[in-house]
């Protein structure tokens, strides 16, 4: 038996029109290069199925995810386009699953190649893979000195096909272009070694959102023929210097005032009475908390705000699992009035970057931590 009840007013509006606009910005920046839309982590918390379907409608022909389960979700949503598996595979069973879903895994060591070769042999079809090169991230990827040999091994395999080669920028969001340029130089050297060995690298991609928007710093070294935008698709500039890129925020997290409490000077609010009213005024209680993605830390650090009745209002007291309290001073608002954690309200915008700054974290983390019980509501 299934049940359907009205839900509390807390929800995440996902503006697919803004998403389409940001995709167009990425395509213009990419020029002739293919755009591989990164929709991992449930499209950065926005809902991968709806996001991928809209991007496909607007001309996106390639996607990237981190895990096999994320790829399965896209296939179930009707996405038939190529899916790049950025996290690669972690064993023989996952290799079989990745190929059953017709994904294109990234490889960075010989063991992955062996697992995929065995899985491809079982299917009687060659498996397309991309080789990731570590040019300075020191996280995943085959070391640059060994990359040409691994790519050549893939190209020579009876069961694998080298479809592409990539690297990942570690510091493209920083003002100093030198580290990014150094990575591009190291990557170009790998490509040159491959060409000298007669190996076609196929799709060549190194630009994430910050790299794409900061391309003049490295494009004279190697341009590639594909790019991998992620964060910018969701309307968040990867660095302050990209705020003029014309991106539009995609997600708005909103709720409604659930309760109002009159407090006097010195009254404590929330667990531990960690915040005390500086004078008499009103507290609004909103039905969202750390289970919904508000970092608990902002209740200790302060600085976080919501948009309520056309103004920015400070979050005060500790964040509860399901509730948060807001200081109104003497302003009158009504129960049921709309409040926005981040996004737009009454012509005012409060970016996710502000909440991230208050929590001393990244906008990425805020977006992906919007809780599963917060329904994503596509609009536009």
Ordered DSSP codes for 325-368: EEEEET----TT-EEEEEEEETTEEE-HHHHHHHHTS-HHHHHH
Cα dihedral 192, 198, 199, 202, rounded to 10, equals 80
Q: Which neighbouring-strand residues pair with 204?
A: 165
Predicted pLDDT at 2: 64
Predicted pLDDT at 1: 58
Q: Quickly state the pLDDT bin for 19 (edges 50, 70, 90).
A: very high
251-379 homologous superfamily: Lyase, Ornithine Decarboxylase; Chain A, domain 1 (2.40.37.10)
Burial of residue 59 (CB within 10 Å: 0-12, 13-18, 19+) is exposed
Q: How far apart are CA 184 and CA 165, in angstroms?
A: 13
The secondary structure element, H or E, covering residue 145 is: helix 144-156
Q: Quickly state the pLDDT bin for 173 (edges 50, 70, 90).
A: very high
Q: How many residues does the chain have?
A: 380
Give first-to-last CA distance, the chain, whole Å: 32
pLDDT, average across residues 92-111: 98
Q: What are φ and ψ of residue 14, in 5° steps?
A: -115, 105
Q: How far apart are CA 297 and CA 295, in angstroms?
A: 5
Q: Are the C-beta atoms of residues 290 and 320 closer than 8 Å to each other?
A: yes
Q: Residue 266 pLDDT more than 70?
A: yes
Predicted pLDDT at 7: 82
Q: Residue 6 pLDDT more than 80?
A: no
Q: Rounded to an integer, what is the distance from CA 242 to the centroid of its chain?
A: 17
pLDDT, average across residues 281-302: 95
pLDDT, average across residues 178-183: 96
Token digits of residue 331: 């302003």
Least confident among 74-78, 136-140, 141-145, 343-347: 343-347
Q: How far apart are CA 369 and CA 361, in angstroms?
A: 12
Task: Give the β-pairing of 34-38 and 226-227.
Answer: parallel
Predicted pLDDT at 26: 98
Residue spans per domain, the chain = 16-236, 251-379
Q: Residue 246 pLDDT more than 70?
A: yes
Q: Residue 40 pLDDT more than 70?
A: yes
pLDDT, average across residues 250-258: 98
Q: Residue 211 pLDDT more than 90?
A: yes
Q: Which neighbouring-strand residues pair with 343?
A: 350
Q: Which of 377, 380, 306 is nearest to 348 (CA)?
A: 306
Token digits of residue 231: 């964060």
Q: Which neighbouring-strand residues pair with 84?
A: 64, 104
With a pLDDT cut of 70, the percent of the chain lying above it is: 99
- Please enumerate in sequence order all residues whose Cβ is within 8 A of that of 176, keeping only pairs 6 or more positions apart, or say none: none
Predicted pLDDT at 255: 98
Average pLDDT, the chain: 96
Q: 3-state class of 183 per DSSP? A: helix
Q: Maximum CA pair distance of the chain?
A: 78
Q: Are the C-beta atoms of residues 326 and 270 closer than 8 Å to each other?
A: no
Burial of residue 371 (CB within 10 Å: 0-12, 13-18, 19+) is middle
Predicted pLDDT at 302: 87
Q: 3-state class of 321 per DSSP? A: coil
Residues labelled catalytic: 40, 271
- Please enumerate in sequence order all residues whose Cβ is within 8 A of that of 37, keeping only pairs 6 or more positions apart, or say none: 23, 26, 52, 55, 60, 62, 63, 64, 229, 230, 233
Q: Rounded to an integer, what is the distance from CA 205 to the centroid of its chain?
A: 18
**Into which CATH architecture does domain 16-236 fall?**
Alpha-Beta Barrel (3.20)
pLDDT, average across residues 67-84: 98
Q: How far apart are CA 240 and CA 232, in angstroms?
A: 12
Predicted pLDDT at 109: 96
Half-sphere CA count of 273, side-chain side, radius 13 A? 8
Q: How far apart are CA 165 and CA 187, in angstroms?
A: 10
Can you tell me which residue has the tokens 């080669």? 165
Task: Give the β-pairing of 338-345 and 305-308.
Answer: antiparallel
């Amino acid at each position: 038996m299934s049940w359907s009840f009205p839900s509390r007013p807390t929800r995440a509006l996902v503006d697919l029109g803004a998403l389409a606009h940001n995709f167009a910005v990425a395509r213009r920046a990419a020029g002739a290069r293919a755009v591989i839309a990164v929709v991992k982590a449930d499209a950065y918390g926005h809902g991968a199925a709806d996001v991928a379907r809209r991007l496909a409608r607007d001309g996106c022909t390639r996607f990237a995810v981190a895990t096999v389960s994320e790829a399965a979700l896209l296939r179930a949503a009707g996405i038939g386009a190529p899916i790049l598996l950025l996290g690669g595979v972690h064993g023989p069973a996952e290799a079989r699953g990745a190929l059953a879903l017709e994904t294109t895994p990234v490889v960075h060591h010989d063991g992955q190649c062996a697992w995929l070769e065995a899985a491809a042999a079982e299917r009687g079809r060659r498996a397309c893979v991309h080789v990731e090169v570590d040019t300075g991230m020191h996280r995943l990827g085959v070391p640059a000195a060994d990359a040409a040999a691994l790519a050549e091994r893939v190209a020579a395999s009876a069961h694998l096909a080298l479809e592409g080669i990539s690297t990942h920028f570690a510091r493209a969001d920083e003002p100093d272009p030198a580290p990014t340029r150094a990575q591009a130089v190291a990557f170009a050297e790998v490509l040159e070694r491959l060409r000298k060995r007669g190996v076609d690298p196929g799709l060549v991609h190194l630009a994430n959102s910050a790299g794409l928007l900061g391309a003049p710093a490295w494009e004279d070294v190697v341009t590639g023929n594909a790019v991998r935008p992620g964060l910018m698709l969701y309307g968040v500039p990867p660095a302050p210097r990209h705020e003029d890129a014309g991106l539009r925020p995609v997600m708005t997290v909103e709720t409604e005032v659930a309760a109002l409490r009159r407090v006097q000077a010195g009254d404590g609010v929330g667990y531990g009475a960690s915040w005390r009213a500086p004078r008499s005024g009103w507290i609004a209680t909103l039905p969202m908390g750390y289970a919904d993605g508000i970092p608990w830390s902002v209740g200790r650090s302060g600085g976080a705000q919501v948009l309520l009745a056309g103004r920015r209002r400070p979050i005060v007291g500790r964040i509860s699992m399901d509730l948060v309290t807001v200081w109104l001073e003497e302003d009158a608002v009504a129960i049921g009035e709309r409040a926005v954690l981040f996004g737009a309200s009454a012509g005012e915008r409060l970016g996710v970057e502000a909440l991230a700054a208050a929590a001393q974290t990244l906008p990425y983390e805020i977006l992906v931590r919007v809780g599963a019980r917060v329904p994503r509501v596509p609009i536009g």
